[in-house]
Structure 1
Amino acid sequence: MLSSFERLLFIRRVSIFQELRDEFLVKLASAMDELSFPSDHTIFEQGEEGRSLYIVISGRVRVHSGDRELARMDAGKVFGEMALFDAEPRSASVTTTETCDCLTLNQLQLIDAIEETPEIAINITRALSRRIRELNGKINSYESEIKEMRAVNSPLR
């Protein structure tokens, strides 16, 4: 468990909370819950209703859709935030790859935080945009690999 001071220092380095006022971060840090998960534990599954975002304190998680890995997240990374904004079911599953500690922020806490400090919404939007760009890059890479495999295996060669 992190002390209040350690928690403040930690969240100050998380991308979505950077550049926010310390007095606000102190309040936010004290409202977050800290959870521990064993290795190979499913934190949530694709299709479930989501009410919290998670921030990895230590350890690592794998974001996946079935057997297809979408991303790996380690200390300081945020996951699960999409469901807080669109009230849609989780778009992917998240499973720990090692013992993992996380901070959580629920939907009501996030809405209160955004009302008090709208910069959080901008920071989360930036993080989501980066993630979409990374996934688009993966999709383009997979498509290129498929085209190359089809060309190599084509009967016209």
Structure 2
Amino acid sequence: MESSILNLFRYAENTQTFSAGETIFTEGTTGREMYVVLKGSVDIRVGNKTLDVTRPGGVFGEMALIDSSARSATAIAKDDCTLAIVDEKQFLRMVERTPLFTLNVMQILAGRLRRMDSMLQLDY
């Protein structure tokens, strides 16, 4: 699933690089874009707890585009990484024109929800 997203964004023009340890966005801030990891990996954290590690082909920050809410977590480059930046207009175009993209994003979200549910059960 993640490899198909990577293929869709392999030649993206709007990219940004981050050094290991650099903050990409912070929990509670407003977001108007999502990210696709092209190289490297990104930790998704709430407080000091890492909820997910997003690797090449993975996406993060998509919730801000789906429901216009504040960021629910902080994203920090785990190592040097290159990210494709997808704004709301491009995201909506991809949803309309590329059903496989939409399915992949839904699968990634479902996987994250399942992992968070498991983490919550372990905490109790």
TM-score (norm 2): 0.86
Q: Is residue 2:40 matched to residue 1:59?
A: yes
Q: Which has the higher helix share?
A: 1
Distance 1:49 1:73 in 2: 20
Change (3 A) 1:55 1:133: same
Q: Which has the higher strand share?
A: 2
Q: Is residue 2:2 matched to residue 1:14?
A: yes
Q: Which has the higher contact order (CA 8 A, sep 6+)?
A: 2
> Paired residue for 1:68?
49
1:16 shift after superposition? 6.3
For structure 2, the residue ranges without an aligned partner over 5 or more in a row are none
CA contact (8 A) 1:37 1:100 kept: yes
Distance 1:59 1:122 in 2: 23
> Paired residue for 1:141?
122
| AA matched with 1:124 | V
Distance 2:56 2:10 in 1: 16
1:58 shift after superposition? 1.6
CA contact (8 A) 1:16 1:124 kept: no
> How big is each residue's C-alpha offset from its partner over 1:77-122, in whole Å with a ceiling of 9 and x where there is no partner?
2111111100000000001122111111111101112222344323
Distance 2:63 2:109 in 1: 8
> Paired residue for 1:131?
112
Find runs of 4+ consecutive structure 1 residues off by over 4 angstroms: 28-32
Change (3 A) 1:38 1:17: closer
Partner of 1:103, secondary structure, is strand
1:41 to 16, 19, 22: 22
For structure 1, the residue ranges without an aligned partner over 5 or more in a row are 1-12, 144-157
1:31 shift after superposition? 5.4
> How big is each residue's C-alpha offset from its partner over 1:49-72, in whole Å with a ceiling of 9 and x where there is no partner?
111111112222111112122111
CA contact (8 A) 1:62 1:72 kept: yes
RMSD: 2.2
Partner of 2:29, secondary structure, is coil
CA contact (8 A) 1:63 1:92 kept: yes
> How big is each residue's C-alpha offset from its partner over 1:5-53, in whole Å with a ceiling of 9 and x where there is no partner?
xxxxxxxx635648xxx9xx4xx66555111011111000001111111
